[in-house]
């Protein structure tokens, strides 16, 4: 139980860090000031989790009560701002970190909802929300249509990760730790493969053109 708790804790911090870096990078590219970068980093890192906690009645939301989340977000911001030339030269670091955070958050989000005693649907929906909520808020605040809704398989990977967690909880086909590890790996793999091979879901409305913007 203690080990499980440590695992959860590590996953959430790692996810926070990954998302904060992706948020800070996006905010920096839009030329926000230092506070703006920090705020977007924090919102991406904790936004999805805060919505999840409000929906399951975990008051006050974990993202607001624990200093470590704020420290992680500020650290990530510092790194992104201070070492931006390095971060920029890395090959698609934002997308990589984003995939890490996506997987971590989908799994921990679904698990937290189950731990609070809610049903599989709540867990699935809040797993997705935890995973993509921060990114959607980021895009809405930076004034663009959320990327995750038009490009490459993203939220669908979170959906699959959350579904694995829910199926593990209900069918008990493995211990919770193993279920977590499998769900994480599957979600992360799907996302990275989708990025590498440009997998997209069908867009029934036709291809996106600049004229639509």
Residue 198 interacting with a copy of itself (CB under 8 A)? no
Among 13, 151, 182, 186, binds a copy of itself (CB under 8 A): 151
* Smallest distance from a copy of itself to CB 3, Å: 27
Cβ-based neighbour number of residue 19 at 10 Å: 33
Residue 189 interacting with a copy of itself (CB under 8 A)? no
Among 4, 9, 10, 29, binds a copy of itself (CB under 8 A): 29
Residue 36 interacting with a copy of itself (CB under 8 A)? yes
Q: How far apart are CA 25 and CA 62, in angstroms?
A: 24
Residue 56 interacting with a copy of itself (CB under 8 A)? yes
Residue 200 interacting with a copy of itself (CB under 8 A)? yes
SS (H, E, C) 58-122: CCCCHHHHCHHHHHHHHHHHHHHHHCHHHHHHCCCHHHHHHHHHHHHHHHHHHHHHHHCCCCHHH
Q: Which two tokens stand for residue 180?
A: 């977590």
Dihedral angle sign, alpha carbons of residues 29, 35, 36, 39? positive
SS3 154: coil
Stretch that binds a copy of itself, among 14-22, 133-141, 165-173, 178-186 (CB under 8 A): 133-141
Residue 112 interacting with a copy of itself (CB under 8 A)? no
Among 20, 22, 28, 163, binds a copy of itself (CB under 8 A): 28
Closest CA to 25 of 73, 69, 68, 88: 88
Residue 75 interacting with a copy of itself (CB under 8 A)? no
**Chain positions contacting a copy of itself, by CB under 8 A:** 27-37, 39-40, 50, 54-57, 59-61, 64-67, 70, 81, 84, 113, 118-119, 121-122, 125-126, 136, 140-146, 148-151, 153-156, 159, 200-209, 212
């Amino acid at each position: 139980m203690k080990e499980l708790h440590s695992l959860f804790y590590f996953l959430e911090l790692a996810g926070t860090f990954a998302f904060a870096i992706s948020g800070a990078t996006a905010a920096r590219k839009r030329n926000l000031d230092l506070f703006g970068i920090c705020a977007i980093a924090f919102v991406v890192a904790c936004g999805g989790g805060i919505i999840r906690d409000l929906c399951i009645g975990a008051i006050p939301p974990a993202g607001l009560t624990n200093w470590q989340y704020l420290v992680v977000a500020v650290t990530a911001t510092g790194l992104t701002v201070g070492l931006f030339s390095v971060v920029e030269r890395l090959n698609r670091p934002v997308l990589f970190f984003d995939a890490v955070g996506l997987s971590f958050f989908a799994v921990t989000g679904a698990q937290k909802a189950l731990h609070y005693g809610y049903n599989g649907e709540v867990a699935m929906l809040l797993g997705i929300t935890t995973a993509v909520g921060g990114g959607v808020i980021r895009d809405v605040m930076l004034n663009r249509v959320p990327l995750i809704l038009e490009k490459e398989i993203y939220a669908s990977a979170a959906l699959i990760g959350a579904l694995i967690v829910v199926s593990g909880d209900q069918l008990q086909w493995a211990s919770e730790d193993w279920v977590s590890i499998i769900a994480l790996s599957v979600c992360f793999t799907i996302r990275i493969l989708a990025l590498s091979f440009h997998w997209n879901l069908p867009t029934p409305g036709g291809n996106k053109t600049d004229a639509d913007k």
